[in-house]
Structure 1
């Protein structure tokens, strides 16, 4: 799904969601701004990863859940950014990273890709696989994200329900 001009890669943000994956690798969220500013949240071989770039270089952190990710339960994930500090929390486990100091964070709204990215945009994305599974209760800065405001959809997506497996 694509949300045009929906996400600000600024000095601070909170992104929370619940995830129940069917595959152990896949891109959940991606946003790329000007001057190499970017955010990617993805699963890679069962590890949740956040990769950030504030214009001065990539930095990342990751968490591996002690519980099986592809079980029938949802996993709560929180990504918090304050300045050049990011924190990733999944369930009770958390990890953080400090990136290079940047004087001018991006202050414009950028396109947010959810669940994958079109093939034409795959340059410099850490994981090309689309996310497969369920995603719910997505909030950006404590505001619920409405999937009704989606700009466009690519791939097979159902925004109304998450089938039981």
Structure 2
């Protein structure tokens, strides 16, 4: 999935649109990425020339992980690699064939640490907060054979690399934490080709939940769901924008879609006999920086919605046609809105979601594997700035 990541690199603009001025917003850290362990990674495709002549990387990292990959570059030869990772709290640089260097200091203290590393002919170097590890030295055969691939993985590499990582005794999953100012040869990394569950880092404290940054961010909470005439959805949201798709399952003939449009919450249903909907325009704005509880309940051709203490219901057509087709259940957005032209809103949701229960099953965001785009699956920013004055 290729995404425009400019907004994720320049955090000031990641959720800007005409309606944002009324919303309380978190303060992102520019040029930062939040890595969430196994469920998140960025894939870069680099020009070969940038990786062949004495490549030099630098980044700031903040983590409490005792184990996990920071980034990994395979090589054209199966047995070699370049990897930066955390093991027992120490940051290690592994090059070639299990040749490693590291400082004895532990860096998984939740504070920012600046890391630089380079590969220069037969030597490779690692410096953390100005403290230089003893240089690593490759034998002549290794130094002439290492040809880094064009793929650079930040966080958890894709599944097809896991077998190699295991026999190389490297972590399979990425760290949980933040990376800031990721650079190659002194220049900021270009936009990644693929984003899988990597959102922004934010200033201040964090709380439980998942933060969706918009721009195509979405997750799948059920891969194979039959749209039936009995349904229940409960969740809490704290939006950063007034418009966005919250949940969708189905096609034009059988579906349930829940979305926000200019602060109004709408549930749209089609049981095969025609569409009907219920909407609630809250008396108090949902953009006040507080969490609000949403409940949607469908029983046959009746659908009701509750937004905090306000509730409404709608009676739809009694005629219906059952469907046995199975559909993925999308939360936060859909892969390509152009293919779902019947949706009233295809814009991705931006903001926090927490305490989601889908047909009595609790959704544990951080355990989901189908994660797409800039989503922080583990936490929501707690510190918010007031809406901009008009």
TM-score normalized with structure 1 length: 0.90
Contact 2:245–2:258 (Cα < 8 Å) also in 1: yes
Q: 1:132 aligns with which of 323, 345, 350?
A: 350
Aligned length: 164
Matched, 1:51 2:299: no
Gaps of 5+ in 2: 1-218, 385-390
TM-score normalized with structure 2 length: 0.40
Partner residue in 2 for 1:114:
331
Matched, 1:15 2:233: yes
Q: 2:247 aligns with which of 19, 24, 29?
A: 29
Partner residue in 1 for 2:151:
none
Whole-Å Cα distance in 2 between the matches of residues 67 and 8 of structure 1?
Answer: 35
Matched, 1:101 2:299: no
Structure 1, 93-102 or 39-48: larger mean CA deviation: 93-102
Q: Structure 1 residues 87 and 160 mapped into 2: Cα distance closer, same or farther (>3 Å)?
A: same
Q: 2:284 aligns with which of 61, 64, 67?
A: 67
Contact 2:279–2:305 (Cα < 8 Å) also in 1: yes
Contact 1:46–1:69 (Cα < 8 Å) also in 2: yes
Q: Can you list the C-alpha shifts for 1:75-122, whole angstroms capped at 9, x where unaligned? A: 001000101110010011111111112354335542101001112533
Please tell me the root mean square deviation across aligned C-alpha atoms, in Å. Answer: 1.8
Partner residue in 2 for 1:142:
360
Whole-Å Cα distance in 2 between the matches of residues 148 and 158 of structure 1?
Answer: 9
Whole-Å Cα distance in 2 between the matches of residues 80 and 102 of structure 1?
Answer: 19
Contact 1:3–1:149 (Cα < 8 Å) also in 2: no
Whole-Å Cα distance in 1 between the matches of residues 321 and 272 of structure 2?
Answer: 9
Q: CA deviation at 1:13?
A: 1.4
Q: CA deviation at 1:25?
A: 0.4
Q: CA deviation at 1:140?
A: 1.5
Q: 1:42 aligns with which of 259, 270, 275?
A: 259
Q: Structure 1 residues 6 and 121 mapped into 2: Cα distance closer, same or farther (>3 Å)?
A: same
Q: Whose helix proportion is higher, 1 or 2?
A: 2
Whole-Å Cα distance in 1 between the matches of residues 321 and 366 of structure 2?
Answer: 33
Whole-Å Cα distance in 1 between the matches of residues 223 and 341 of structure 2?
Answer: 19
Higher RCO (CA-CA < 8 Å; seq separation 6+): 1
- Please state whether the residue corresponding to 1:138 is helix, strand or coil: strand
